[in-house]
Structure 1
Amino acid sequence: MKIRIGNNSLRYRLTRTEVERFASEGIAKETVQIGDEQLTYILERVLCDELAVSFKNNIIQLSVPEHLANEWTNTERVGFDNKDSSGLYLLVEKDFKCLDNVTEDQSDNYENPLANKK
């Protein structure tokens, strides 16, 4: 699972395996060590009405409404988004293979729908 933070936005991208695990367990979690601190980011399926995010104790927790999580994991839907009450843009999406040559392993990413249009 990857996150991108910038321009008042927070974006989560998940590979096939991560989406499958999220579908079965209702949670995806990663931790990165930054110096002496850790940053943990979580995507969690919860009973709520809309996407919501919190940041406490170096943990970013993005809560996804159960109905939205179920639709996303069980269909071809690429992603979903919303703005939270502070205006932060939230986006969750399936991670596609890049069209450019990159060095990172993309074997678990979704096929890019634009790949056949090159």
Structure 2
Amino acid sequence: MKIRIKGNSLRYRLTKTDVERFDTNGYLEESTHFGAKVFKYALQRSTNDTLTAGFDDDTITMYMPVTMALEWASTDLVGYENNTGPMYLLIEKDFKCLDNIAEDQSDNYPNPLSFKV
């Protein structure tokens, strides 16, 4: 799972394995160590009606409604967004880049643009 934060915008991108784990467990978490401190970001299924997010105990958690989570994991749907609050939220499946990059992309979803002629 990757995170991107810019101003009041939060985006999560998940690989195939991330989506499978989230579908199975209803929770997914990553962490980054900054010396003695640990920053975490997580995705959690919730009973909310919309995509929401919170920040507690050095952890950003994006909450995804159960119905969204189930549909997202079982279809080709790319993602969901919520731009109705003070923070723009986006969660999406991570596609393979069209450019050559050194990052391992073997677990990413096929990029739909790579099939266009």
TM-score interval for Structure 1 and Structure 2 normalised by the shorter chain: over 0.9
| Counterpart for residue 63 of structure 1 | 63
| Counterpart for residue 73 of structure 1 | 73
TM-align CA RMSD: 1.2
| Counterpart for residue 18 of structure 1 | 18
- Aligned 1:1-118 pairs, distance under 5 A: 1-83=1-83, 85=85, 87-117=86-116
Unaligned runs of 5+ in 1: none
| TM norm structure 2 | 0.95
Residue 84 of structure 1, CA deviation: 5.6
| TM norm structure 1 | 0.94
Residues 4 and 11 in structure 1, CA contact (< 8 A), matched pair in contact too:
yes
Identity of aligned residues (%): 50
Residue 83 of structure 1, CA deviation: 2.7
| Bigger mean CA offset, 44-53 vs 88-97 | 44-53
Q: Which amino acid aligns with 2:49?
A: D
Residues 31 and 40 in structure 1, CA contact (< 8 A), matched pair in contact too:
yes
Residue 74 of structure 1, CA deviation: 0.7
Query: Segments of 4+ in structure 1 off by > 4 A?
Result: none
Distance 1:102 1:81 in 2: 27
Residues 52 and 84 in structure 1, CA contact (< 8 A), matched pair in contact too:
no
